[in-house]
Structure 1
Amino acid sequence: MTVLTQRDLNRATLARQHLLERSAATVTDAVAHLCGLQAQEPQEPFIGLWSRMQAFAPDQLDHALTRRHVVRTHLMRRTIHLVTATDALHWRSRHDTMLRQRVLGTYRRDLAGIDLDELAAAGLTAMADGRPRTMAELVSVLEDRWPQPSRRALGELLIAALIPMAQLPPRGLWQTTAGVRNLPLTTWLGKNIAPLSGDDADLVGQQLVRRYLAAYGPAATADIRAWSGLAGLHKAVQAIREELVGFRDERGRELLDLPDAPRPEADTPAPIRFLPAFDNAILGYDDRSRIIDDAHLGLSVAGRRVVLVDGRVAATWATDGERVRVTPLRALSSQENSMMRKEAELLADFLGTAECVEAVP
């Protein structure tokens, strides 16, 4: 079985993530290909798309949100993701069990003894008028009937697990500060969530595996599980195993991939790329060594924005609204510094900041 080096895997990831060459796809198609963008910080998807798309303008994502082509919702790993409306409707049922388990695991004592189906039905009834609600507003309608849980536990159970919700604009629009207003996905999108029988769940799982590999592969089953947060995808992998090709990484792990997916040569030049906080190009794996050194793993988990130099995390960056400040994590060559500064200047222009500043490590 062919062994893929870290650099082989790095170039494959960059190619799949549109970080080797910017894509000419539409916003909706780009979000679909990437299987969504992590979006708990509302402005970060704009930076993620700017780094991946040709001539990206913020109003393209604003329009996709307001026209309901893409939606903000709890999905993979119980994290707010920006996904296409189609994926939200097709994938949500497959994530229900995971979402419930994660909320219950966090608030087990608070929520002990609650009939989840009864609470979900009451929540939907409370929102039947079609008026968006904040979490506090929804809890206030139901807390007399369920007084025991903390308001936080009751609200997260309803919003993040029991009722598939969309977070509505203006939340998530460009350079807009807005609180979270929720509406059931089916109300916001005007379509029903795909129900899952046993066979349907298997088919959705197989689709998730294919889609993940298209955007992240080659990858191990542990990587797929880490990205999705879902248990039970091993069965889906085995069902399509004959469609896939196999490799080994330098640790000996089996990696799976789609046969015709791009796997560029390891010496393919990689441009400087500025990534947003919580970017799935890093967080979408169990083993992140293909793109970030072990010493820096905490940066992405902590929500630090990073810079890829030669395809790997080599700096962090931040903005105070007036400038983009870059802090290298290792010594950079004069050529790397020059290329990074040029890309930082383009980013500063995109963000509307006055200048970029290169910091000393």
Structure 2
Amino acid sequence: MAEVTMSQRALNRALLARQLLLRREPTTALRATSALVGLQAQVAQPPFIGLWTRLESFTPEQLRSQLRARKLVRVTMMRSTLHLMRATDYVALRPGIQPALESAMRSALRKRLDGVELDPIVAAARECLSGAPMTFARLREQLAARFPEADPRMMGYAVRNLIPLVQVPDDSPWGFPASADSCLASEWLGAEPSAEPGLSPDPNPDPNSDPNPDPNPDPSTLVRRYLAAFGPATPADAQVWSGLSGLRAVFDQLRPKLRRVRDERGRELFDLPRAPRPDPDVDAPARLIPAFDNLVLSHADRTRIIADEHRKAIVSKNLQVSATFLIDGFVAGTWKLERSKQAATVALSAFIELDKRQRAALTDEAEALLRFAEPDAPRHAVKFSAR
């Protein structure tokens, strides 16, 4: 298949189309979450805002009901971070992510693992959690009582990465308390994450239809799902998103089935042949993107969505990722939702000079967000500041 060159703007519009950000889509929270291969959920609220900014007529209850029905789950996945995922995606894709989880664990713990036998700790954690969901603070206490010579936080981190777990939702406004209980995924879902037939959706799901099963989930399934949500992309991009290494070989294996393009620097990028690649001049509306959103975290080269000089402004030293806003499809600043007794306020801090039309579009979005996230606030306000 002949290669073409895609401009930075063309790559931006392709990403926005797959991230459901060129228009608010008339689909469900379940199907959207699957199309996005999950929403990062380090904090409970951002996935709700992530779906609100992408979907028509989205309400928090639509997401909460899917959590209660166990069709959506909050779990440890890509980059060893919490994600909100479709349950069938989690069961099918977790085995492919497992090597990255184990590698991240060993890298983070390093010398604290010296002389530590993990198998007995993992077995004890399974025993503690069997039929008894609990917070990780409580689990660490129980493990510390059994293994007093081991670091409790080390044991907790190892368990989180080695055992498929699901956080238990409750009646909190955003689905989970600050410290949620965890339980065994096999008990919550009735299936241990494994490569079982019929559980892996199609890599390029139609948001308006249920995914088709793929009976052979493997690293190539992960790559195809990644490209459907974030392509065109390089192996290095997919590795940043997934936390896996060695994906170049998987891309080479898939090469005959993929479309190849070049960026403006001449680098080879891969894509699914039928994936959307809109005209680069298509309008991209102003959008408020929640904290930790994968939109800004899933490429090694992120210039298709954020300028290099602005990357440090959205990720703190302790790896907190700020909420951002898009102007003409690119990150143009950050925003915060502030609540006091008198008012709920969206405070926007721009990286660029905003014109009157752009400020008006952001104001409309911010006011809509306040109605969604803070409907009971006595007053709503939007304020701008420059960095």
Partner of 1:189: 189
Distance 1:328 1:356 in 2: 17
2:210 counterpart residue number: none
Partner Cα distance (1:253, 1:139) in 2? 47
1:337 maps onto 2:353 in alignment: no
Q: Distance in 2 between matches of 1:173 and 1:229?
A: 31
Instruction: Please state if 1:248 is matched with 2:249.
Output: no
> Structure 2: how far apart are the matches of 1:138 and 1:175?
21
Matches within 5 A, 1:196-207: 203-207=217-221
SS of the equivalent of 1:83 reads strand
CA displacement, residues 99-139 of structure 1 (integer Å, 9 cap, x when unaligned) = 122122222222222222232122212222x1101122222
Tell me by how many angstroms 1:54 deviates. Answer: 0.6
**Match for 2:103 among 101, 104, 110?**
101
Pick from 84, 87, 98: which aligns with 1:85?
87
Q: For residue 136 of structure 1, give the secondary structure of its aligned residue in structure 2.
A: helix
AA at the equivalent of 1:150: D
Return the alpha-carbon distance in structure 2 between the equivalents of residues 273 and 295 of structure 1: 20
Distance (whole Å) between structure 1 residues aligned to residue 195 and residue 348 of structure 2: 47
Match of 1:256, SS state, is strand
Residue 220 (str. 1) matches residue 222 (str. 2):
no
Work out which of the residue numbers 309, 316, 327 in structure 1 matches 2:327.
309
Q: Which amino acid aligns with 1:345?
A: E
Shift of the alpha carbon at 1:233? 2.5
Q: Give the TM-score, by structure 2 length.
A: 0.87
Task: Name 1:292's counterpart in structure 2.
Answer: 306
CA distance in 1 between counterparts of 2:336 and 2:265 reads: 34
Q: How far did residue 267 of structure 1 move?
A: 0.8
8 Å CA contact 1:71–1:167 kept in 2: the answer is yes
**Distance of 2:164 and 2:89 partners within structure 1:** 13
Aligned residues: 356
Note the 1:1-361 alignment, pairs <5 A.
1-128=3-130, 130-158=131-159, 160-170=160-170, 173-174=173-174, 177-195=177-195, 203-302=217-316, 303-321=321-339, 322-352=344-374, 353=377, 354-361=379-386
Bigger shift: residues 343-352 or 168-177: 168-177
Q: Distance in 2 between matches of 1:248 and 1:123?
A: 48
**CA contact 2:168–2:176 (8 Å) conserved in 1:** no
Equivalent residues of 2:345, 2:383 under 8 A apart: no
Q: Describe the shift of the 1:175–1:154 C-alpha distance in structure 2 as closer, same or farther (beyond 3 A).
A: closer
Alpha-carbon distance between aligned partners in 2 of 1:171 and 1:295, rounded to the nearest angstrom: 41
TM-score between both structures, scaled by the size of structure 1: 0.93
Deviation of residue 172 (structure 1)? 7.2
CA contact (8 A) 1:116 1:162 kept: no
SS at match of 1:54: coil
- Tell me: CA distance 1:358–1:29, structure 2 relative to 1, closer, same or farther (3 Å): same
2:21 counterpart SS class:
coil
Residue identity over aligned pairs, in percent, reads 40
In the alignment, what sits opposite 2:204?
Answer: none
Q: Which amino acid aligns with 1:147?
A: P
Q: Are the counterparts in 1 of residues 227 and 271 from structure 2 also a CA contact under 8 Å?
A: yes
Q: Aligned AA for 1:155?
A: G
Q: Cα–Cα, structure 1 residues 3 and 195, in superposed 2: closer, same or farther, change >3 Å?
A: closer
Residue 171 of structure 1 deviates from its aligned partner by 8.3
Which has a greater percent of helix?
Answer: 1
Residue 202 of structure 1 deviates from its aligned partner by 8.0
For 1:138-182, what per-residue CA distance to the aligned partner results, in whole angstroms no more than 9, with x for missing partners?
222232442222211111111x21211111112875276441211
- CA–CA distance in 2 between the matches of 1:176 and 1:155? 20
Instruction: Give the letter aligned to residue 380 of structure 2.
Output: E
Q: Which deviates further from its counterpart, 84-93 or 141-150? A: 141-150
In the aligned structure 2, how far is the partner of 1:289 from the partner of 1:12?
Answer: 13
Q: C-alpha distance in 1, partners of 2:370/2:40?
A: 22
In structure 2, the gaps of 5 or more residues are 197-213
Corresponding letter in the other structure for 1:356: A
CA distance in 2, matches of 1:173, 1:235: 44
SS at match of 1:344: helix
Q: Distance in 1 between matches of 2:102 and 2:155?
A: 12
Partner Cα separation in structure 2 for residue 31 and residue 176 of structure 1: 17
RMSD over equivalenced CA pairs, Å: 1.9
What CA distance in whole angstroms lies between the structure 1 residues aligned with 2:329 and 2:345?
24
For 1:312 and 1:193, locate their aligned partners in 2 and report how far apart those are by CA, in whole Å: 36
CA distance in 2, matches of 1:92, 1:176: 22
Q: For 1:143, what is the secondary structure of its paired residue?
A: helix
Alpha-carbon distance in 1 for matches of 2:314, 2:16: 17
